[in-house]
Structure 1
Amino acid sequence: MKSRFAIFVVLLLVCLPSISFAQEQVTVPMTDNKGVEQKGEQWKFSADKLVVENDSEYLQAYGDVTLRSGDNYIKADFARFYKATKWIYLRGNVKAQIKGDFYDAAEAEFDLNNMVGWLKKGRVFVAKPHIYFESEFIEKHNGATYSFKDVKVTACDGENPLWSFESGEGDITINGYARLWHSKFNVKGVPVMYTPYMELPVQRERQSGVLNPEVGNSDRLGNRINLPFYWAIDDEMDMTIYTEYLSKRGFRPGVEFRHSEDVNTKGSWRADWLYDSKSYDVPDQDYSFGDTMIRPNHNRWWLRSKYNGYLGNPDWQTIFDMDLVSDQDYLREFRSGSNGYDATRNDFLDEFGRDIATADANERTSTALMARSWDKYSISAMAQYTENLLYRNGNNPSGDNPTLQTMPRG
């Protein structure tokens, strides 16, 4: 029925000067730059009212206008479609999804063949790598490139994002970079930094570059900013370097190294360190989390890892878990952020299916296990080391530590 209706529309265009359709559809085939129709490429119009002028070059649609082509769609209150050029002008509550990216605008115009065009009072959400940008006027060029003036760029959801950049002008190329001129870096809408020019990676695929900055504030740590750098070493290895600064405590660098050489091997190794400006030799209610322990050490750190692999032969399965920390307060203080306790725990559970001790646990266990199975029997060896934080940093005499360690055993 739809194909017959499309033929009927063409006949009417020849015979009648003007005709309107209520709540109907029109199919628009796409053509290449030589006018040859592209197989399988077509947009289907639907609207409350479609008006076709015989002596004009366009079709007009009114009310609940919708165009669909596969998973792509465009919606608006009004549309004017130019038949020869395949350009479409849209006005009022313009919304679109094109190849997984989302558009909102008051007005827009697109070439339906290649989706170049412009948006007024527009907002674009690129699902991968999850980035928003909005501006009074956005141009979309070939090659998934956008240019704009007076733009706001962020990777955070919500009307008042945690962080954003506001720039006088710039451009974004997906799978390339966002180049911004005369930019302000905002935290919750408040400007905190200015730069005349900057570049940010905007990648759908894995590529080295600076990751989204993390900012925050607390009475205990002061102002916090973390600028992670991601290094895609090769297809099997990557590294993230964390450069975190805490205004009340100092510089807290960290590193995360991941590798997966084959289907039987993967590992995640993480470490961070802080020379803390704050320590206490007697219990301090403001910093001791309500217990009676002390923390006289300035050098603070956390080493943790998960590893699945084999020794020599894939049949010799090997598991290694490490969890070592400098003091009882460290994980309770540094729970948030991409290199904090909560993110580490969630990543370990997702990637390896193995948990780590809670942030306030005073015993932390590291384990090494090797095993092999045959048809009728198996063999395994395991060693464990348990760190008891109640006997660290002068809290209790280390000689009184009752913690039992598991030596290698089969």
Structure 2
Amino acid sequence: MHQKVQKSGKLLQFAILLISTVLLLLPFRLNASILQKAKKSKLPWQIQADGLNYDSKNKIYHAEGHVSLTSGDKIIKADRITLNTITHIAHLVGNVYIKVGRDWLKGDEGEFNIKEETGTVKNGIIFFYDQHVYIRSAIIEKTGKDTYHLEKGTVTTCDGEKPDWKFKFDQMDVKMSGRGEARKVSFNVGGVPVLYTPYLSFPVKRERKTGFLFPRYSNSDLNGFGISTPFYWAINDHVDATIYPNYYFDRGMMMGVEFRYKQSEENLGMFRFDYLSDHKNDDELAEAGYPRQRKERWWWRSKSNFTLPMDVKGRLDVDIASDKYYLREFDIGQVSWDESDFAFRKLLDRGLDNDKSVLARESTLYLTRDWELTHLGLEMHYWDNLDRSYDEYTLQQLPRLALNIAKQKIGNTPFYYEFDSEFMHY
């Protein structure tokens, strides 16, 4: 009886969370489309191909084989491109690829007006890098400066050809500075439609603004169905935070937070922390190959670049987890190793130091001071060994000090000197 009541309570809690998510649905922010995002530039378009012919009478380029059109950060590629220099329309055939910044669009064929930056792509997929959102559509049409029309498509934040969840729509019209409207919309989990609405209107936000992000869903045998409703907080121009409650039907509520700051290219950082009081049955965990080590589960990872007085530069990377199975059990969505590594590379151009299978998690501190011909560096490494199955001391490297002086001439003499030294304490 107690188990039935507990199960009913979990179902009710899950239903309330799901309904509230749908009600909040789609106040998500997308960047301006990759066909519109880049500022119009006076940079000329350049064309390259394996084979290139020019019809001087009609002023048309015929290009075939690894064809690319480039202008600044805008790239258009296809197997074949026909470019009319009078109408500015490029006809694209085969393996169409359009990229502006870090957003991209792929499709089978289409046409693009390189002057007006309007066009159509058939059987296409758009990826918005900043929001990690994929939109697939039979027809992707940019109809104006910031308006789009899409037909028979899907929207998801999941990677891969078979996403855990997606929204399917028959038609969608979007005005990037206003709202979007979708018709015949269904929400699908694991390929199964669970919700349907004939019409959905949603705001589209291009600017950095506080609000709910696109909800995310997951499903696995170990964790059950999962739902996350991230809330983005634009604290100021240089600092933001994202709070993401993740509810797992078989595990309970995992609370997560991401904090980012960027004062300059040399002073920036991000930390992520997730915490779960695990409700999973011990026997079920053991049967799945993850015997219970502790009920309180968490993972802290952070990376930062900073400067100190006297032109000292520093880097601090921290990676500490509650137990050795955490990174294997929670491998989907914001809490996963893959997405954290992606986020760190995106902000700091470096990912996590250790793969998710490594049990000795490494944290490091680097301090450096450079002169014209001299380098002084301090390193500290700490390994947190998550394998508690045997009693063995983990060797630490605290600290390492290095002084390097490049080869240089001694005054006006014909002699040179250089110096390399290193001190290390274990």
Distance (Å, rounded) in 2 between the aligned partners of 1:146 and 1:359 = 40
Matched, 1:312 2:309: yes
The reply to whether residue 361 of structure 1 matches residue 358 of structure 2 is yes
Structure having greater relative contact order (Cα 8 Å, sep ≥ 6): 2
**Cα shift at 1:152:** 3.4
Matched residues, number: 320
- 1:316-395 map, 5 Å: 316-348=312-344, 351-353=348-350, 355-374=352-371, 378-391=375-388
CA-CA distance at 1:211 after TM superposition: 4.8
Pair 1:163–1:282, CA change in 2 (3 A): closer
Q: Distance in 2 between matches of 1:102 and 1:241?
A: 32
Within the candidate set 179, 182, 199, 1:180 is matched to 182
Does the CA contact (< 8 Å) of 1:214 and 1:226 recur in 2? yes
Q: Aligned pair in 2 of structure 1 residues 281, 328: CA closer, same or farther (>3 Å)?
A: farther
Q: Tell me the residue number matched to 1:299.
A: 296
Alignment match, 1:35: none
Stretch moving more, 157-166 or 378-387: 157-166
Q: 1:65 to 1:334 in 2, by over 3 A?
A: closer
> For the residues of structure 1 that align with 2:191 and 2:256, how far apart are their CA atoms?
28
Aligned to 1:34: none
Name the CA distance, whole Å, in 2 between partners of 1:265 and 1:199. 36
State the identity %: 31
Moved more, 163-172 or 126-135: 126-135
Q: CA deviation at 1:221?
A: 1.5
Distance 1:134 1:408, change over 3 A: closer
Correspondence 1:246 to 2:248:
yes
The equivalent residue for 2:153 is 152
When normalised by structure 2's length, the TM-score is 0.57
Cα separation, partners in 2 of 1:170 and 1:65, compared to 1, 3 Å: closer
Aligned equivalents of 1:247 and 1:265: distance in 2?
Answer: 40
Structure 1 residues 145 and 209 mapped into 2: Cα distance closer, same or farther (>3 Å)?
farther
**Is the CA contact (8 Å cut-off) linking 1:279 and 1:297 kept in structure 2?**
no
Q: Distance in 2 between the 1:169 and 1:282 partners?
A: 44
Distance 1:352 1:160 in 2: 28
**Preserved contact between residue 372 and residue 380 of structure 1 (Cα < 8 Å):** yes
Greater share of strand residues, 1 or 2?
Answer: 1
Please, what is the CA RMSD of the aligned residues?
A: 4.8
- Is residue 172–residue 202 contact of structure 1 (8 Å, CA) maintained in 2? no
In structure 2, distance between residues paired with 1:143 and 1:26 = 31
Summarize the Cα distance change of 1:75–1:278 in structure 2 as closer, same or farther, 3 Å threshold. Answer: closer
Q: CA deviation at 1:302?
A: 0.2
Partners of 2:136 and 2:155 within 8 A in 1: yes
Contact in 1 for aligned 2:90/2:113 (Cα 8 Å): no
The aligned counterpart of 2:90 is: 73
Unaligned runs of 5+ in 2: 1-54, 63-79, 402-426
Residue 176 to residue 235, structure 1, CA distance change in 2 (3 Å): farther
The answer on whether the counterparts of 2:165 and 2:218 sit within 8 Å (CA) in structure 1 is no
Q: State how far apart, in whole Å, the 2-side matches of 1:71 and 1:234 are.
A: 41
Offset at residue 299 of structure 1 (A): 1.2
Task: Give, as a single letter, the amino acid of the residue that structure 2 aligns with 1:361.
Answer: V
CA distance in structure 2 between the aligned counterparts of 1:98 and 1:379, rounded to whole angstroms? 42
Give me the whole-angstrom Cα distance separating, in 2, the residues matched to 1:98 and 1:380. Answer: 40
The answer to whether the 8 A contact 1:242-1:339 is kept is no
Whole-Å Cα distance in 2 between the matches of residues 157 and 377 of structure 1? 46
Superposition TM-score, scaled by structure 1 size: 0.59
